[in-house]
Amino acid sequence: MNVLKIAAGEIGYSEQSDGTTRYGIWANDPQAQWCAEFICWCVSRADSIYDTDLLNNIYPYYTSRNVGRDWFIKKGRYVNRNGNIPDWGYQWYKDTGERITLNSYIPKSGDFMFLSYDGTFNTAHVALVEFVSGNSESGYIVNVIEGNNPDKVQRNQYPIDKSQILGYGTYSDNIATTMRAGNSGDSVSALQKQLYTLNYLGEGDISGFYGVKTANAVSEFQRTIPDKIINGIADITTQLVLNERYNQAVHYSANTWLVDD
């Protein structure tokens, strides 16, 4: 991965005596606490060298705590370490429907790893996952490249069950999360587009915000699922059935336009 190549090339770089770094200068805050600035700089540098478009698409540009994590949440690509995002709900893999549980997600090379040092959901540090070593018996170790810990770019290792790990921002699109009233982001827009296709929402209701109309539409859809609790929350059962019916509708619509010669 090109971002990791750039990051590895920075190993050994140290901040100046007054805390200034080239990453902080790049982010217009020379003496910043620069763990996020370092990784964002690496992404930007990779874009410049390899003619990619990763920054603000696959990875966020940010300089303040929680902003990067929240960006991944809104993109539908954040995995909480315990598989349950506060104010959202539990998570699962799209391809299998398997629930994500405490420490069951094995981070990928290029993931952002967010850490907290005060026992809250607030991010205090971010590192770039290089690879994961170990196994389920001996325990997994997350190998990272990080900046500002405490004053230089270095490799480091974290046990995957380290309590200070909050979760991971990933480029993978295989993570699904429970959605409910008050949530917003790309995953909410995708849900609304499915509900629109199945005639539960109007086209003008595709806003990316999970409001009353979306909750009511989800409740109406849930009434079509046998033995389903009607609560307006897009949980695993609701989303799996919705995905199935949406795919069927799209497939049927495509087939109706096929004309035999």
pLDDT in tens, 183-194: 999 999 999 999
Structure pTM? 0.94
Band (pLDDT 50/70/90 cuts) for residue 1 is confident
Asked if pLDDT for residue 257 goes beyond 80, the answer is no
* Mean pLDDT over each residue of the chain, to the nearest integer: 96
- pLDDT greater than 80 at residue 251: yes
- pLDDT value, residue 39: 99
The average pLDDT across 196-223 equals: 98
For residue range 120-179, list pLDDT tens digits in order: 899 999 999 999 999 999 999 999 999 999 999 999 999 999 999 999 999 999 999 999
How would residue 229 be classed by pLDDT, with cut points 50, 70 and 90? very high
pLDDT on residue 252? 80
What pLDDT is recorded for position 189?
Answer: 98
Calculate mean pLDDT across residues 18-39. 98
pLDDT at 119: 84
Signed CA dihedral, 3, 8, 9, 15: sign only: positive
CA dist 31 and 148 (Å) reads 11
Ordered DSSP codes for the chain: -HHHHHHHHTTT-B--TTS--HHHHHTT-TTS--HHHHHHHHHHHHHHHHT---BTTTB----STTHHHHHHHHHT-EEETTSEETTTEEEEETTT-PBP-TTT--PPTT-EEEE-SSSSS---EEEEEEEEEEETTTEEEEEEEES-SSSB-EEEEEETT-TTEEEEE-S-S-EEE-B-TT-BSHHHHHHHHHHHHTTSS-GGG-SSB--HHHHHHHHHHHTTSTT----S-B-HHHHHHHHHHHHHHHHHHHHTT----
pLDDT tens column, 78-126: 999 999 999 999 999 999 999 999 999 999 999 999 999 998 899 999 9
pLDDT at 256: 58
Binning pLDDT at 50, 70 and 90, where does residue 181 land? very high
Instruction: For the chain, give the number of residues.
Output: 261
pLDDT per residue over 42-79, tens digit each? 999 999 999 999 999 999 999 999 999 999 999 999 99
Please report, rounded to a whole number, the percentage of residues in the chain having pLDDT higher than 90.
Answer: 93
